[in-house]
Amino acid sequence: MLVLSRKKNESIVINENITIMVVEVRGDKVRLGIEAPRDVPVHRREIFEAILASRQADSKQGIDCLGGNPTEGGSLVQPMESLPY
């Protein structure tokens, strides 16, 4: 991990298109300003971890398609002989 020291109104640049500036220091809290392209997601760690947990829960539920659910031993593909035509 790279550790940098910055004072109020000083910044760091990441990959030429992301800037992180120390906006305020008050006691044990630091406020940061982040400039990044709109296509770069920026989250607090606790929010990011909640997003990851939600994605993992969604992936464990599987996909219900064509009456099959792979997490319950079903199949996403129906055999040709079971089709109604």
Domain count, the chain: 1
16-56 confidence digits (pLDDT tens): 999 999 999 999 999 999 999 999 999 999 999 999 999 88
Bridge partners of 14, per DSSP, are 18
Q: Residue 25: give the domain boundaries.
A: 8-36
pLDDT value, residue 61: 72
Q: Is residue 22 part of a domain?
A: yes
Contacts of 32 (CB under 8 A, 6+ apart): 20, 21, 22, 23
Cβ(21)–Cβ(9) below 8 Å: yes
Residue 25 lies in a domain: yes
Mean pLDDT of the chain: 82
